[in-house]
Amino acid sequence: MNETLQRLIDVLPPPLARPEPPPWDRAVEEIGFQFPSDYRAFVDRYGGGAINEELHVSCPTEFPYEPGVSPGFAGYLEAMDLGVGDAYRSMRDSFPEDYPYPIFPEPGGLLQWGVTGGGDDLFWLTDDEDPDRWPVVIWWRNLDPRWESFPGGTVEFLLAVAERRHEYTEHLLWGTTGMRWHLEGDWKVRYPYSS
């Protein structure tokens, strides 16, 4: 197991029962790329869900996120595009100086992997052929500057938040105390929401 993921597990306990992992070997065939390996390891151990019900991490699932969205890997992309893609493209067309990145599936575009309770969007910048080199990029809805390029991958970012080392941890988690993971779904199941 990756040392960074183990450190995250020490700070943010994963679900007791292992979630059903996606069949990652099908991703390239179905959508044309593979997800970053640290994200895959995270989803295999945690599933999709939220830290303190505030910082949500999406995962591919056979249970569609939205009505009319395909299941599986294609559905993950469709849901991300419905969630942020169209709105982002419209804002970028109107205010290109405020939205400097292309959006996936444009080459090198941002691909959303998470969102916060405050409406901040968590992306990968897909500008490298190797997904393990995709940096995390955050669009802050109510902070200045609006954009942050985090110098690390998904698990490094989540660890920085869980250890409260990230500059905006309190903004991300809205001042909640402790760290707990709320499982919301995995490849086979979409769990009912409960506090």
Find where tokens 């569609």 sit: 64
- Taking residues 168-190, what's their average pLDDT? 85
- Separation of alpha carbons 178 and 84, rounded Å: 30
Q: What pLDDT digit, counting tens, does each position of 82-115 carry? A: 878 988 999 999 999 999 999 999 999 999 999 9
**194 against 103, higher pLDDT:** 103
Cβ(161)–Cβ(55) below 8 Å: yes
Strands, sheet with 147-150, edge to edge from the N-terminal-most edge strand:
147-150, 136-139, 121-125, 110-116, 55-57, 48-51, 181-185
**Dihedrals φ, ψ of 93, to 5°?**
-65, -40
- Separation of alpha carbons 28 and 30, rounded Å: 6
Cβ(160)–Cβ(154) below 8 Å: no
Per DSSP, which regions of 62-135 are E strands? 110-116, 121-125
- Partners of residue 114 on adjacent β-strands: 57, 122
> To 5 degrees, how large is the angle CA 188–CA 193–CA 113?
60
Q: Residue 102 carries which side chain, given as an amino acid letter?
A: P
**pLDDT on residue 191:** 63
Q: What pLDDT digit, counting tens, does each position of 63-89 carry? A: 876 778 899 999 999 988 887 898 899
Which residue in 187, 146, 177, 151 sits closest to 60, CA to CA? 187
Which residue in 49, 7, 22, 32 sits closest to 131, CA to CA? 32
- Partners of residue 56 on adjacent β-strands: 50, 115
- Separation of alpha carbons 158 and 134, rounded Å: 15
Radius of gyration of the chain (CA): 16
Q: Please, what is the average pLDDT of the chain?
A: 91
Which residues 6+ apart lie within 8 Å of 40 measured at CB? 21, 22, 24, 34
